Amino acid sequence: MTPPEITDSHCHLDFPDFSGQLNTIIANAAAAGVTRMVTICTKLRLEPQVRSIAEAYQPVYFAAGTHPMSASSEPLATTEQLIEMSKHEKFVGVGETGLDYYYTIETAEIQKKSLRIHITAARQAGLPLIIHARSADDDISKILIDEYRNGAFNCVMHCFSSSRNLAHTALDLGFYLSMSGIAAFPKSQELRKIFASVPLDRILVETDAPYLAPPPYRGKRNEPAYTAHTAVKGAEIFGIDYAEFAAQTQINFERLFSKAASCKVNT
């Protein structure tokens, strides 16, 4: 029986973990029903490498930005640079960007500046912003609210594992929360409660591969095919059939990442 179609909205196919294995990785994904993947560039100097993967594989799209943990060690992005990248037909989102105070609180100010640049680019390009948030909920909320007042933009809180307050801030702005393998970890009861309180039409699923593999692969290298395992847990959280959950997340993805939904590239 053919599995329901689903999308891995956030992975890192350019990472060394997948070197020389992308044909197998893409085939594994298809076998699991994962018919689309968005591979994320985290350092803009690597954008050509990430773009080439999207160009080589029909199911793969890409986004680019400067990860907050690299904001101080990489050249500061410019709005013009991101806008120019966004002209590629398979470039579907801006980021990942955001704030990470768990590992890099000492670079908070440059992270904030970088985040605002990415927001401006997303707004001007009309593409969704992809946010990484770790141990920085208050500042993330303040910046998102402040910037939204300057002009609407859309956004996904990637790999959401933050507080209920940040979830509500994002939802109040019309944003989306993306469910990763963390939601399936045994000790993530509170996170599952947060997701259960979120409207189903605001949920995406992702792997963040090669990281955060869901059970039964926890501790091993993650890959896009494992999106299905997270989605099974998502269906359980919402108390619905897996096929229904998968179908709704497909609708959600296509609403947010409308450029991917309309892309007719056959590479």
Whether omega before 216 lies within 30 degrees of 0, making that bond cis, reads yes
Structural domain that includes position 167: 6-262
Let me know if residue 227 belongs to a domain.
yes
| pLDDT tens string 188-242 | 999 999 999 999 999 999 999 999 999 999 999 999 999 999 999 999 999 999 9
Let me know if residue 104 belongs to a domain.
yes
Dihedral sign computed on CA atoms, order 39, 42, 46, 47: positive
Query: Does the pLDDT value for residue 180 go beyond 50?
Result: yes
How far is 252 from 244, CA to CA, in rounded Å? Answer: 12
The structure's pTM equals 0.96
As a dihedral over the C-alpha atoms of residue 221, residue 65, residue 119, residue 58, rounded to 10 degrees, the angle is -70
Let me know if residue 267 belongs to a domain.
no
Let me know if residue 167 belongs to a domain.
yes
- pLDDT band, residue 1 (cuts 50/70/90): confident
**For 71, phi and psi rounded to 5 degrees?**
-60, -30
Dihedral sign computed on CA atoms, order 191, 170, 219, 107: negative
How far is 86 from 29, CA to CA, in rounded Å? Answer: 26
How far is 197 from 193, CA to CA, in rounded Å? Answer: 6
Supply the CATH number for residue 29's domain.
3.20.20.140
pLDDT given for residue 265 in this prediction: 52
Let me know if residue 214 belongs to a domain.
yes
Query: Does the pLDDT value for residue 267 go beyond 50?
Result: no
How far is 149 from 141, CA to CA, in rounded Å? Answer: 12
State the CB neighbour count (10 A cutoff) for residue 59. Answer: 16
Let me know if residue 43 belongs to a domain.
yes
Let me know if residue 164 belongs to a domain.
yes
Read off the pLDDT of each residue in 167-183 and give the average, rounded to a whole number. 98
Let me know if residue 1 belongs to a domain.
no
| pLDDT tens string 13-56 | 999 999 999 999 999 999 999 999 999 999 999 999 999 999 99
Residue whose token pair is 């773009």:
51
Cα atoms in the Cβ-side hemisphere of radius 13 Å centred on 30:
10
| pLDDT tens string 49-86 | 999 999 999 999 999 999 999 999 999 999 999 999 99
Query: Does the pLDDT value for residue 156 go beyond 50?
Result: yes
Query: How many domains does one find in the chain?
Result: 1
Mean pLDDT, rounded, of the chain = 97
pLDDT given for residue 264 in this prediction: 62
